[in-house]
Amino acid sequence: MRIARFTTGDDPRFAVVDGETGQETLAVVTGDPLVSAVRFTGERIPVEGTRLLSPVLPRSKVVAIGGNSARDRDGEGPWEPQAFLKPNTSVVGPDDPIVLPPWSSEVHCEGELAVVIGRICRDLPRHRVPEVIVGYTCANDVTARDRQEEPGGSWRAKGADTFCPLGPFLVTDLDTSDLRIRTRLDGNIVQDGRTGSMPWDVADLVCHVSMAMTLLPGDVLLTGTPVPSAPMSAGQRVEVEVEGIGTLSNPVVVR
Ligand code: MG
């Protein structure tokens, strides 16, 4: 099932998405499918003419993972996923602009698979991970690369406004073991990787994070980018396509 959060100018609503790419229809539901059973209102709306929003607005946090590419596995020493937080104020939806801040001259796109948590959990054993995941969406882990290495740098290098586009839909049934993830800038592929090449899978990461932080319904986990990132410029359009989910597209603008 694909779930959209959308607006036609009023308060955000949710819908189940039917139809092929570019011709989707929204079957409107009551309430938020994250917390209540899906009940159709009977209203159907073509997706064209609506504004899609981030399919989830994280209630407490976006946890993002670094160092989850095959390249990061090279080398000696202790090795575990790096995690950091992106505030929910960094989240934007499909077609919302990514705003390049004046304090960075090198902002990169990182196309990633995002996991949406549906149930409160902590200290989760691996075999129970499927119980707490409500679905998956595409993410762009936007990064001010030139600010990342300064002390405490991730607070703005990763957490600035508009630095966490999510969408277009939440997909509830998905085998994430080997999905192709591609990022395009103005139509040109700048990242092309697969989740199957990533050292840690979704279950590893949810377990790992839950050992330190309670995860709440609506929290989002970005699983890391499998291949090197690419710089973006104002005026470009960036697209993150995750196989089985769809394409998240955002214009890049300067503040
Ligand atoms: Mg990343």
pLDDT of residue 46: 95
Question: Mean of the pLDDT values across residues 189-218?
Answer: 96
Chain position carrying tokens 């959060």: 5
**Reported pTM:** 0.96
Calculate how far, in angstroms, residue 9's C-alpha sits from the geometric centre of ligand 1.
32
Question: Mean of the pLDDT values across residues 197-203?
Answer: 94
Calculate how far, in angstroms, residue 68's C-alpha sits from the geometric centre of ligand 1.
9
Calculate how far, in angstroms, residue 163's C-alpha sits from the geometric centre of ligand 1.
11
pLDDT in tens, 115-160: 999 999 999 999 999 999 999 999 999 999 999 999 888 899 999 9
Same-domain pairing of 33 and 66 = no
Same-domain pairing of 78 and 194 = yes
Give residue 231's domain range: 62-254
Calculate how far, in angstroms, residue 210's C-alpha sits from the geometric centre of ligand 1.
19
Calculate how far, in angstroms, residue 229's C-alpha sits from the geometric centre of ligand 1.
8
Calculate how far, in angstroms, residue 11's C-alpha sits from the geometric centre of ligand 1.
31
Calculate how far, in angstroms, residue 65's C-alpha sits from the geometric centre of ligand 1.
6
Residue 144, CA distances (Å) to 36, 183, 232, 242 in order = 37, 17, 10, 23
Calculate how far, in angstroms, residue 232's C-alpha sits from the geometric centre of ligand 1.
15
Calculate how far, in angstroms, residue 139's C-alpha sits from the geometric centre of ligand 1.
9
Calculate how far, in angstroms, residue 22's C-alpha sits from the geometric centre of ligand 1.
28
pLDDT of residue 207: 96
pLDDT in tens, 219-230: 999 999 999 999
Residue 57 lies in a domain: no
The number of CA neighbours under 13 Å toward the Cβ of 220 is 31
Nearest-angstrom CA–CA distance, 157 and 142: 8
Same-domain pairing of 153 and 221 = yes
Same-domain pairing of 44 and 160 = no
User: What's the chain's average pLDDT?
Assistant: 95
Strands (E), the chain: 2-7, 13-18, 25-29, 40-46, 51-53, 62-66, 82-86, 91-92, 98-100, 107-109, 111-117, 133-140, 143-144, 164-171, 180-185, 188-194, 220-222, 230-232, 237-242, 246-254
Calculate how far, in angstroms, residue 41's C-alpha sits from the geometric centre of ligand 1.
38
Counted domains in the chain:
2
pLDDT in tens, 64-114: 999 898 877 766 555 788 999 999 999 999 999 999 999 999 999 999 999
Question: Mean of the pLDDT values across residues 33-42?
Answer: 92
pLDDT of residue 141: 98
Calculate how far, in angstroms, residue 147's C-alpha sits from the geometric centre of ligand 1.
14
Same-domain pairing of 223 and 170 = yes
Calculate how far, in angstroms, residue 142's C-alpha sits from the geometric centre of ligand 1.
7
CATH number at residue 42: 2.30.30
Residue 229, CA distances (Å) to 28, 112, 142 in order = 37, 11, 10
Calculate how far, in angstroms, residue 158's C-alpha sits from the geometric centre of ligand 1.
9
Q: Examine the pLDDT at 28 and tell me if it is beyond 60.
A: yes
Provide the β-strand partners of residue 25. Answer: 18, 46
pLDDT-derived band at 233 (thresholds 50, 70, 90) equals very high
Question: Mean of the pLDDT values across residues 208-223?
Answer: 97
Calculate how far, in angstroms, residue 48's C-alpha sits from the geometric centre of ligand 1.
30
Provide the β-strand partners of residue 21. Answer: none
pLDDT of residue 75: 64
pLDDT in tens, 75-85: 655 578 899 99
Residue 177 lies in a domain: yes
Calculate how far, in angstroms, residue 109's C-alpha sits from the geometric centre of ligand 1.
8
Residue 7 lies in a domain: yes
pLDDT in tens, 160-170: 999 999 999 99
Calculate how far, in angstroms, residue 121's C-alpha sits from the geometric centre of ligand 1.
23
Same-domain pairing of 92 and 199 = yes
Question: Mean of the pLDDT values across residues 28-47?
Answer: 93
Calculate how far, in angstroms, residue 66's C-alpha sits from the geometric centre of ligand 1.
6
Calculate how far, in angstroms, residue 162's C-alpha sits from the geometric centre of ligand 1.
15
pLDDT in tens, 177-188: 999 999 999 999
Nearest-angstrom CA–CA distance, 157 and 143: 5
pLDDT of residue 209: 97
Same-domain pairing of 94 and 26 = no
